[in-house]
A and B are shown apart, each in its own frame.
Chain A
C-alpha cells in the first residue's frame, strides 16, 4: 500500500468513525434535551434520577429496550416488518455524510512505528464525503426515509399503522416539493449544489437567511414535516391512531424509530445551519476563511472554533424543534395539505421568479460577490417578508393581540 492510499484511508476511517460516534451520542443527548426541555416548558422537573441531571436516563431506557421481549404480529409481513426500521435508520445516518462541520485542517506526512508512512496532500476537508452533488444527496436520501415509515405501516397489517404510514407518505411527498423549491433559490444564489461552495459563497457575501429569507422560512416549515415533528406529526398522532405507523413495534425495533427521528432532526438542524446560517462560518471575521498549509496552533484553534460555531448553530435549531414541539398543537390533516399545496408551493414558485430576477439584475449590473451583493439581496427580501407576514396574518394574530390588551386595560 502506498503512503498516499494509507493516508486517505486513515483520514476517511477517522472521519467516518468520529462522525458516527458523535451522531449516536448526539441522538442520546437530544432525547435528553427533549425530555428535559418538555419538562421545562411544562413547569415540571423531567427525568432527574439516573446520573447527574438525569443524563443517563436514556442509557437506562436503551438497555430496557434491548432486553424487552420482541413481538412480531402473527399476520404481519415478516420480512418487511424486520426491514422497515433499518430503511428508516440508515438514510437518517447517511445524510450527515455530506455536511461540512469545520474549517479544513492542513495535510500531513507522518511515520508511525509499526504502520509506516502516511501522506495526505493538501488541506483535509472536514466532511465525510465531499460530493459534487452536495445537497441533492441529502434531498434524495431524506426522500427515502418515507419508505421505512410507510413499509412499517403496511407490513404490520394493522389498520392504525397503515393509516399512519399512508399519512406519512402523503405528507412527506407533499412537503418535499416545498423543500426542493426553496433549495432552488439557494442554487440560484450560490451557483453550485456542493455544500462547501454554498458555505464559501455565504462567507463572501452574507448568510442566506438574509439573502433568501422566504426560502429559509419555507424550508424550515418543510423540515418539520420531513422529520414528522409536531405540529406535523400526523403519522403517529396518538389521539387518533394509537401510535401511528409504529403501533405494532416493540422493544429495540420500536426504539429504532425515535432514534432515526432524532438523527434526522440533528441532520436537518445541521442542514439548515449550513444552508442558511453559514455552516461553520464565524460571523464578522475573515480569519476563519484562511486555509492553513502547515500544522500550527492557529490551524488547530481555527478548526476547534469553527467546529464550535457549527455545533452552536446546529444546537440552536435542535432546540427550536423541541421548543416548537411543546408549544404548538397538531395540525388537522386537511390544514396540513392546505399549507403544503396551496400556501408553500405557490409561495416558493413566486419567490423563485422574484429572486431569479434579482440575481439576474445584480449580475447584469456587475455587482461583485461581496457584502454589497448580500446587502442588495437583503433589501429585496425585507419588503417581501413584511408583505408575507402581513398577508398570512390577515389581522388575526398581530392585530388581535393588540386589541385584547386594550380590552384588558
Chain B
C-alpha cells in the first residue's frame, strides 16, 4: 500500500519537475514547481514525518507565491524567448552539467547496490514503531526541535548566519542607494 503511494507521488514529483523546467511560460513553470513540492510533502507524510511535510507546504508553497509575483512584476511576459539555453556554449555547459549529475546518480546506484532502493536493509533502518513512540512522547515538533536545539545547536546557528548573509545580499542588490 505504502509502496504504491510512494511510486505514485514519486512519479508525480518527477513529472511535475520535468514540466517545470520545460514549460515556456514562467507562470506555468512556477505552478508545476508547486506541484513538485506537494508531491514531496506527500512522500514525507508516507515517511511519518508530518512536521517536515507541513513545513514543506508552508515555507515552499509560500515562497513560490512570491516567485510567482516576481514573474508577474519583473519579467517582460510579452516577448517570450524560444528557449533559455542559447548558443553552442550554453548547450555545451548544459550537456556537461547533465552528464555530471547522471554520472553521480550512476555511482550512487552502484555503491548502494541494486537491492538498495526500497529494501529494508539499505541505510540505517529504525526498529518498527520507533518513530510513533517518540512522537507519542514528545509531539511532532519536539521530535525535530529537541535534537536541533541541543545536539545540533552550533550547525543550526551557523546556518542562520548564512541566511542572514543572503538577506543582506538581497537588500544590497535590490537597493540602488543605501
Binding site for B on A (CB under 8 A): 77, 80, 131-134, 136-137, 139-141, 143-144, 146-147, 150-151, 154, 162, 166, 169, 173, 176, 187, 191-194, 197
* Chain B residues, CB < 8 A from A150: 65, 68-69
Give the docked Cα–Cα distance between A151 and B69 (Å): 10
Most buried by B among A133, A150, A154, A176: A133
* Chain A residues, CB < 8 A from B66: 173
Give the docked Cα–Cα distance between A140 and B65 (Å): 13
Can you report 24 residue pairs joining A to B where beta carbons are below 8 Å apart?
A: A80-B31, A132-B51, A133-B50, A133-B54, A133-B140, A136-B51, A136-B54, A136-B58, A139-B58, A143-B57, A143-B58, A143-B62, A143-B65, A151-B31, A154-B72, A166-B72, A166-B73, A173-B62, A173-B65, A176-B62, A187-B141, A193-B139, A193-B141, A194-B140
- Cross-chain contact B69 with A132 (CB below 8 angstroms): no
- Cross-chain contact A144 with B57 (CB below 8 angstroms): yes
Give the docked Cα–Cα distance between A181 and B162 (Å): 23
Residues facing A in B1-48 (CB within 8 A) are: 27, 31, 34
Other than the known A136-B58, A140-B57, what 18 A-B pairs have Cβ atoms closer than 8 Å? A77-B27, A80-B27, A132-B50, A132-B51, A133-B141, A136-B55, A140-B54, A140-B58, A141-B57, A143-B61, A143-B65, A144-B57, A147-B65, A151-B31, A169-B68, A173-B66, A193-B139, A193-B140
Give the docked Cα–Cα distance between A132 and B49 (Å): 10
Tell me whether chain A's interface is mostly helix, strand or loop, or mixed.
Answer: helix
* Chain A residues, CB < 8 A from B53: 133
Give the docked Cα–Cα distance between A386 and B58 (Å): 34
Q: Top 9 A-B pairs ranked by shortest CB distance? A: A132-B140, A140-B57, A140-B58, A136-B54, A192-B139, A133-B50, A133-B54, A140-B54, A133-B140
- Cross-chain contact B58 with A147 (CB below 8 angstroms): no
Give the docked Cα–Cα distance between A408 and B73 (Å): 53
B139-163 CB mask vs A (1 if < 8 Å, else 0) is 1111000000000000000000000
* Chain B residues, CB < 8 A from A77: 27
- Cross-chain contact B54 with A147 (CB below 8 angstroms): no
* Chain B residues, CB < 8 A from A143: 57-58, 61-62, 65
- Which residue of the partner chain, among B68, B72, B135, contacts A132 with CB atoms under 8 Å? B135
Q: For B53, give the chain A residue with the smallest CB separation.
A: A133
Known: A147-B34, A166-B72. A191 touches B54 (CB 8 A): no
- Cross-chain contact B139 with A194 (CB below 8 angstroms): yes
* Chain A residues, CB < 8 A from B27: 77, 80, 154
Q: For B27, give the chain A residue with the smallest CB separation.
A: A154
Binding site for A on B (CB under 8 A): 27, 31, 34, 50-51, 53-55, 57-58, 61-62, 65-66, 68-69, 72-73, 135, 139-142
Tell me whether chain B's interface is mostly helix, strand or loop, or mixed.
Answer: helix
* Chain B residues, CB < 8 A from A176: 62
Give the docked Cα–Cα distance between A131 and B140 (Å): 9
Q: For B138, give the chain A residue with the smallest CB separation.
A: A192
Give the docked Cα–Cα distance between A123 and B138 (Å): 22
Give the docked Cα–Cα distance between A193 and B58 (Å): 15
Give the docked Cα–Cα distance between A146 and B34 (Å): 13
- Min Cβ gap A198→B in Å is 11
Most buried by A among B57, B62, B139: B139
* Chain A residues, CB < 8 A from B51: 132-133, 136
Give the docked Cα–Cα distance between A143 and B61 (Å): 8
Q: For B136, give the chain A residue with the smallest CB separation.
A: A132
* Chain B residues, CB < 8 A from A131: 50
- Cross-chain contact B69 with A166 (CB below 8 angstroms): yes
Q: For B57, give the chain A residue with the smallest CB separation.
A: A140
- Min Cβ gap B131→A in Å is 11
- Cross-chain contact B69 with A140 (CB below 8 angstroms): no
- Min Cβ gap B108→A in Å is 31
* Chain B residues, CB < 8 A from A80: 27, 31
Give the docked Cα–Cα distance between A363 and B124 (Å): 37
- Cross-chain contact B50 with A146 (CB below 8 angstroms): no
Give the docked Cα–Cα distance between A191 and B142 (Å): 9
- Min Cβ gap B46→A in Å is 14
- Min Cβ gap B118→A in Å is 25
* Chain B residues, CB < 8 A from A132: 50-51, 135, 139-140
* Chain A residues, CB < 8 A from B55: 136
- Cross-chain contact B65 with A146 (CB below 8 angstroms): yes
Give the docked Cα–Cα distance between A77 and B57 (Å): 25
Q: For A176, give the chain B residue with the smallest CB separation.
A: B62
* Chain A residues, CB < 8 A from B58: 136, 139-140, 143
Most buried by A among B51, B58, B69: B58
* Chain B residues, CB < 8 A from A151: 31
- Cross-chain contact B69 with A137 (CB below 8 angstroms): no
Give the docked Cα–Cα distance between A147 and B139 (Å): 30
* Chain A residues, CB < 8 A from B65: 143, 146-147, 150, 169, 173
Give the docked Cα–Cα distance between A131 and B54 (Å): 11
